[in-house]
Each structure stands twice: as C-alpha cells, then as structure tokens.
Chains A and B, each alone.
Chain A
Amino acid sequence: MRWIDVADLEALPEGGVLGVEAEGTPVALVRDGGRLYALHDCCTHHEALLSEGYVEDGCLECPLHQGRFCLQTGAAVDGPVELPVATYAVKAGAGRVLVCLERPGEAEEVAAEPARPRPQPAAVEPTPSTAVDPPATIGAPLAERCAWPAEGLTRIPDWVYTDETVYRREVERIFRGPTWNYVALEAELPEAGSFTRSYVGPTPVVVARAEDGRIHVFENRCAHRASEFCRELRGKTGEFVCPYHQWSYDLTGKLVGVPFRRGVNGAGGMPADFDPAQHNLRRLKVTTRRGVVFASYREDMEPLEDYLGPEILREFDATFDGRQLRILGYFRNTLPGNWKLYHENLKDPYHATLLHTFLVSFGLLVAGNRSAMLCDASGRHGVMASAKSDSATVSAENRQEMRAYREGMRLEEPRFMDFVEEFDSPWSVTMQTIWPNLIVQREMNTLGVRHIVPEGPDRFTMIWTMFGFEGDSEEMTRHRLRQGNLMGPAGFLGLEDNEAMKFVQDGMRSGAAGEHMVALDPRIPAGPSDSLISESAIRAMYRHWRGEMGL
C-alpha cells in the first residue's frame, strides 16, 4: 500500500476543501469536524470539480448543480446525482496530507482546531422604488406602465427589453445622447476619400476621410428627401451624390451642389433665400483613439479617455497597443433580442462555464484561472477578464487528460486554443463592453470589434470587424483565423451566446409583465467583482441606464 504526499495540512482549514492531484488522479481533500476525507474530484453527474464546492452537514456539495456526496462513503445523498464518487484513504503526518489510491476512504482524525465561521454575505440594499401599484396597463403613460420592481436592481422588468416607447427613448437619450458611439476603425479608411457605411444607434451614417486626412461622420440621409444616398458598404470617392436628385456633398458632409437651384429659363428653382450652408448633412462630433473612431450627436462630450475611465482605458489600450491594425474581415448577423442583452451577456461571467461546455468538455478551461469583472465608476462600461494560470493546483495538462479521459473527448488540433503572448496585460482574455454600442474582443489572439446596431426593442444587428496587426507573420495571421472558430455567428462559443439571447427574448414573448432576477453576489450591490458567480456588473449597468432614461 502506497501513501502519496499531496498537500500541506495547513492549506486545508477546518470546513475547507482543496483540489489536488495524486499521481494524475484528481482528488478533493476535505477537513470537516476535525477529520480528513479524500474523494475523487469529478462529480459523477456532470463536468464539475467537487473541490470547487462546499462542505456542509457531512457532505461535499457540487458547485454546479448542488449534487451532494457523503464525505465518509462517497454515496450520492441528494440533488441530481445518482452514482457514488470514489473515496480514498487519507491521513495526516508531519504536517502533510497523504492519500492512498488503492484503498477506499476511512476518515482520519486530526488535531482539533476551532471551526472557522463562514462569512455571511450581506443583504443587498434595495434601491428606493418608484413602483406604482396596482400594475399599470398597456396604453398607460410610460412612467406608469414602466415602474421598476420594488426589489431594486436585483430585478429587471421585461419592459426594459420589449417596450417600443422605451426603445425610442433609448435612441434619443442614449445613442443620440451624451455617449461616444463606435463607428469604424481607421484601418478601414486608409486614404483621403476612403469611406465606410456605419451606424450610430439605428441611424445610418457615413464615415469618410477628407482631403486633409481628418475623419468625418455624417448621417447617410440626403438633406433634401431623406434618401439613404450612400449604398456601397465601403470604397473611395471624391464626393457623395444622392442618386435621386443629384444633390452632392463633399467628404465632410457639406452640401456643395443642388441641380437647377435657380430653375430653368428663369422659372422654377429654389427660393431666392435658399442658403446651402444651412443644408449640410447632419454632422457628428468625432474622436479617435489608437485607430478606433467614435462619434457623438452631442457637441459637449467629455474626452473619450474620461468617458471610458481609467479601468476601461487600461484594457482598451492593452488591446489597441499602438500597432497598426490590419483588417481580416467581417461577420454580420441579426439577433432576435434586445440590444442590451449582448452587454449583459458580457457582464455575466456566471454563464461562461455553464453555457459554454465546449471549454469544459475539452479541458480548455482550467479551474483556478484568475478572472475578474471590471467596471468603470459609472457602471456603463465593463471588462470581463481572465488569465491562463500556471499556479493552479492541478496542471492544465493533467486537467485536460482527466477531462478527456472521462468523456473520451479530445480535440485533434488543440493548437488553435494556444495563447501567443503579445499584450501588456495580466489578462489573456478580455471582453470589453463599451457603452453603448461597442464590444472589444480580445479572446487570446483572436481580435475583433463588435458593433451593436439596434433595430427595435427585440432585434439588433451585430457587425464584427476582425483584425490583426501589420507586421503579423503569415503563421500568426493563420493562428488568429483558426482561433476565430471560437467566436462569431458560427463560433463554438459565439453561436451559443446568440442562441441563449434568442431564448431569453422568446421567454418574454407572451407580453405578460414579468421580471428577470439578477441577484448573484449580494455583497456587491452594483460594480466590479472578483467572483465569477456574480451579476453585480449587470446591476451597475442598469443603475446607469435608469439614470439616463429617467425610469
């Protein structure tokens, strides 16, 4: 019988559980009631590590679906589990914990120490409610129809995602309000005369580089009859001419030509006091940073750097690190859901391992990865970040072996998941949600911006611009393209997010007044969190949204 030294006894406090590896076998060590226990670390129900679970009432509870196993016997006690988990003999000696894989468990007593009380989470302070009782009906004024639930930010009412009037107010107060909206990458506008079509909220705009090299953003709507005059997705031109009546505009959006302005043979034409300078295209304020172009309807916008705040700016600059961007191509998809669901999906680290079983099944997600959900002070922007870890108790390699063995699942070409270090950031993955219409994706080496174009309360288009950098080797470009299989409308992760958001919108289709629950992680009422099991960043976004919307 062979005893394997697996851990320092001090690393395992009373009431605690620790994931270790005994010559390749994952083991969950538990110290409970002054005794040691060792169980196989894999839940028999679903892909999950028991060592990430909880010890309670002589049982080890799986973190995923709350299946409970008896510490003493490994028997499935409660929850969805049916099969028992293996137990191993365990003992303490010279301050170390030793397990024997050949013998089933028999708890070992250790010197008693006072039990640590588990910290009790504080209750979330309910936000003062403006709720009006009884519930208002459709057709009532907005303020009555759209009352926020009394519980505060831990509930989101369905009307936030379904109401047409709320949506129209979002267009006015958010997309045409005091926000910087993403419109393009400078790499798409390489020279004077380059232009690309884009959107601010649902409004079509043109982004063009003028003769002096400056970038201009103006509405794609003729000042004469509202025609969306620019029809090419992108290109190069000296001027824009509306095809309907040939009104023409220069690269800054200035009206320069009105055919037959003075009529023909002295008859017809524009009124004598017509002043072309008063009929330019609607022009927006423009700013750029590190090759990313933003526009705003407001003239009084703060600088982009202040708008983002230091936490977000740091990650923005880590991705846009000064290298020239090289466009690799585009995806476009329509999503049958409310545009805010996309922000929420990326402020919701809870779903990552639960929805995306691809990562877990193939052993690509290592428990113990460092991660964080960052927010700016206003709560409107966020960064979901994680880092590949080499300090996890179980090595990534062995974890992969373990998972692959369990399900017979292994990728034939796992190299597409490699991370080539190239950024000045502690994070290997960051998903930046920049309010109101931009997602910056840095999923290891596959990079892109996702542009949200809302089309109503229950539908939006997403335009993905994938990029690498000038100077990338051919192999690096191919690596980015291969890794791109994770994301996008056909990505292993991306398609699941799209499907899940569709399911959420479908769930609200009945029109009955319901509400969502976003109560995870009550110790943080609204703001950044270092826990993945948190919805505090979603609450922070809605704190901001309610202020902007007056709802």
Chain B
Amino acid sequence: MSARAAEPASQTPEAWRDPLRLRPEIEAFNVAYARALDQGRLMDWVEFFADDGFYAVTARENHDAGLPVGLVHCEGKGMIRDRAFAISTTAMFAPRYLRHFVSNLHIGAIAADGTVEAESNYLLVQTLHDRPEPKLHQVGTYHDRFVRAADGGLLLARRVCVYDTLLVDNSLVYPV
C-alpha cells in the first residue's frame, strides 16, 4: 500500500488545473500526511516528497526577515529520509504523541504542468506519555509547492513549515 493511498489522484492535466477538484485532492493529501506523522510512520512520511523536494521548519521571525536558517533544513529526499531514519533509530527523547490539525487551505498559482502553490494553517499538539496535559507545540503555516508524480498524484516539491510560536518547548523531535 502506498503511503499516499488515501489520496484520490486527478488523472488528467485538465483536472490538475481545476481548483474545485484540486481542493479536495490537496486536503486529502494533507490528511494522509498528518496521519502518517501522527501514527509515527516516519519512513512513509518521506514518500510525500518529490525526489528533489525541500523540507524546512523555521520560526516566523526568520521567515518574515528573509533569514534562511531552519530548525530542520532538508535539501532533497535523501536528507529527508536521513532525518526520518535517524529520528526513528538513533535519537534519544522522551516518548510522546503528536497530532497535526491542518486547515484553511489556500490555493495560489496553478501552472500548466500542474505545479501548485498552496498554503495551509497547522496546529501541532504534543502529549508526553507521562504528563497529563497536551501542549500546543506549534501553530503555523505550511508554505507548499506541489508537483505531479508520474502517476498523476501530488508530491511536495517544497514544504516550509513556518511557526508563529516564538519559543520551541524544549525540543522539536518529529517532523511537522
């Protein structure tokens, strides 16, 4: 089963450019993306990206000032996979659950080849296994560029997660 199986692919280039069909397609993509992370399937999360996909997590402070640094900065699927692999196999951290809530999809420019610029809001809620209260870990915006895979499905050529919450509560372990 593909990691992106939940996503209904729009098969024709005409459909790719139809905002009414694109909206449920991207929303379904984001649901599947959040579900993979919330279930801790990090290696499946990698498959939401194109081979040359870029993934970063950065503070709004940096984004608004045009500063390039990221808490996470992955150029290409290889680095994305390395992060998923390292976090799931070597990193030491207190066990936790995460829930992603993705909403307010805004669809921007749609190119002839099916490339789409989009934005969504996200909430990331973290619950440590041994603490009673869940905490709002991040509130932010996904700045996305989607491209079409060979099978017509969506892939992320770029996802930059920009969080408003100035302070990170101790550490950011899992991807956003």
Among A233, A409, A461, A489, the residue within 8 A (CB) of B61 is A233
Chain B neighbourhood of A490, CB < 8 A: 57, 71-72, 168, 171-173
Contact B82 A413 (CB under 8 A): yes
Chain B neighbourhood of A498, CB < 8 A: 170-171
Q: Does B81 contact A (CB under 8 A)?
A: yes
**Residue of B with least CB distance to A484:** B73
Report A486 CB to chain B, min CB distance, Å.
10
Chain A interface size, under 10 / 10 to 19 / 20 to 34 / 35 or more? 35 or more
Bound complex: CA of A478 vs CA of B70, how far in Å? 11
Contact A412 B170 (CB under 8 A): no
Report B64 CB to chain A, min CB distance, Å.
10
Given A328-B69, A485-B73, A413 and B78 touching (CB < 8 A)? Answer: yes
**Residue of B with least CB distance to A361:** B90
B-contact bits for A309-338, CB 8 A (1 contact / 0 none): 000000000000000000111111111100
Q: Does A290 contact B (CB under 8 A)?
A: no
Given A335-B170, A484-B70, A485-B72, A355 and B92 touching (CB < 8 A)? Answer: yes
Query: How many inter-chain residue pairs (CB < 8 Å) link A and B?
Result: 119
Bound complex: CA of A491 vs CA of B93, how far in Å? 12
Q: Does B15 contact A (CB under 8 A)?
A: no
Report A473 CB to chain B, min CB distance, Å.
14
Q: Does B76 contact A (CB under 8 A)?
A: yes
**Residue of B with least CB distance to A408:** B89
Report B131 CB to chain A, min CB distance, Å.
10
Q: Does A132 contact B (CB under 8 A)?
A: no
Q: Does A499 contact B (CB under 8 A)?
A: yes
B-contact bits for A480-494, CB 8 A (1 contact / 0 none): 011011001111101
Q: Does B132 contact A (CB under 8 A)?
A: no
Given A357-B92, A461-B167, A485 and B61 touching (CB < 8 A)? Answer: no
Given A413-B78, A499-B93, A333 and B170 touching (CB < 8 A)? Answer: yes
Q: Does B1 contact A (CB under 8 A)?
A: no
B-contact bits for A459-501, CB 8 A (1 contact / 0 none): 0010000100000000001100110110011111011101110
Bound complex: CA of A485 vs CA of B84, how far in Å? 12
Among A332, A361, A477, A481, the residue within 8 A (CB) of B168 is A332
Report B106 CB to chain A, min CB distance, Å.
25
B-contact bits for A332-364, CB 8 A (1 contact / 0 none): 111110000000000000000001011001100
Bound complex: CA of A481 vs CA of B67, how far in Å? 11
Chain B neighbourhood of A513, CB < 8 A: none
B-contact bits for A492-528, CB 8 A (1 contact / 0 none): 1011101110110000000000000000000000000
Q: Does B166 contact A (CB under 8 A)?
A: yes
Q: Does B91 contact A (CB under 8 A)?
A: yes
Contact A329 B90 (CB under 8 A): no
Report A342 CB to chain B, min CB distance, Å.
12
Bound complex: CA of A461 vs CA of B79, how far in Å? 29
Chain B neighbourhood of A489, CB < 8 A: 71, 168, 170-172
Report A493 CB to chain B, min CB distance, Å.
9
Bound complex: CA of A503 vs CA of B92, how far in Å? 11
Chain A neighbourhood of B75, CB < 8 A: 478, 482
Q: Does A411 contact B (CB under 8 A)?
A: yes
Contact B89 A330 (CB under 8 A): no
B-contact bits for A398-425, CB 8 A (1 contact / 0 none): 0000000000010111001000000000
Chain A neighbourhood of B69, CB < 8 A: 328-331, 466, 481, 484
Chain B neighbourhood of A336, CB < 8 A: 170
Chain B interface size, under 10 / 10 to 19 / 20 to 34 / 35 or more? 35 or more
Given A327-B67, A488-B71, A495 and B172 touching (CB < 8 A)? Answer: yes
Contact A328 B171 (CB under 8 A): no
Q: Does B86 contact A (CB under 8 A)?
A: yes
Bound complex: CA of A499 vs CA of B69, how far in Å? 22
Chain A neighbourhood of B71, CB < 8 A: 331, 488-491
Contact B166 A332 (CB under 8 A): yes
Given A358-B86, A492-B91, A495-B93, A329 and B67 touching (CB < 8 A)? Answer: yes
Bound complex: CA of A409 vs CA of B57, how far in Å? 25
Chain B neighbourhood of A478, CB < 8 A: 75
Given A413-B78, A481-B69, A333 and B92 touching (CB < 8 A)? Answer: no
Contact A485 B83 (CB under 8 A): yes
Chain A neighbourhood of B85, CB < 8 A: 409
Contact B94 A503 (CB under 8 A): yes
Among A413, A416, A482, A502, the residue within 8 A (CB) of B170 is A502
Bound complex: CA of A409 vs CA of B78, how far in Å? 14
Interface residues of B in 119-173 (CB under 8 A from A): 166-173
Bound complex: CA of A332 vs CA of B168, how far in Å? 6
Chain B neighbourhood of A332, CB < 8 A: 59, 61, 166-168
**Residue of A with least CB distance to B63:** A329
Q: Does B62 contact A (CB under 8 A)?
A: yes
**Residue of B with least CB distance to A501:** B170
**Residue of A with least CB distance to B176:** A490
Contact B91 A334 (CB under 8 A): no
Contact B86 A481 (CB under 8 A): no
Q: Does B22 contact A (CB under 8 A)?
A: no
Report B154 CB to chain A, min CB distance, Å.
23
Contact B168 A357 (CB under 8 A): no
24 contacts between A and B (CB under 8 A): A328-B68, A329-B58, A329-B59, A329-B62, A329-B69, A329-B70, A333-B170, A334-B169, A355-B92, A409-B89, A413-B79, A466-B69, A477-B68, A481-B70, A481-B73, A485-B83, A489-B71, A489-B170, A490-B71, A491-B71, A492-B90, A495-B173, A496-B91, A499-B170
Q: A329-B61, A332-B168, A495-B173 are in contact. List 18 more A-B contacts (CB 8 A).
A: A328-B67, A329-B67, A329-B68, A330-B62, A330-B69, A331-B59, A333-B168, A355-B92, A357-B92, A358-B90, A409-B85, A409-B89, A413-B79, A485-B72, A485-B83, A490-B171, A492-B86, A498-B171
Q: Residues of A with Cβ closer than 8 Å to B?
A: 233, 327-336, 355, 357-358, 361-362, 409, 411-413, 416, 461, 466, 477-478, 481-482, 484-485, 488-492, 494-496, 498-500, 502-503
**Which 4 A-B residue pairings sit nearest by Cβ, starting from the closest?**
A329-B69, A329-B67, A412-B78, A495-B171
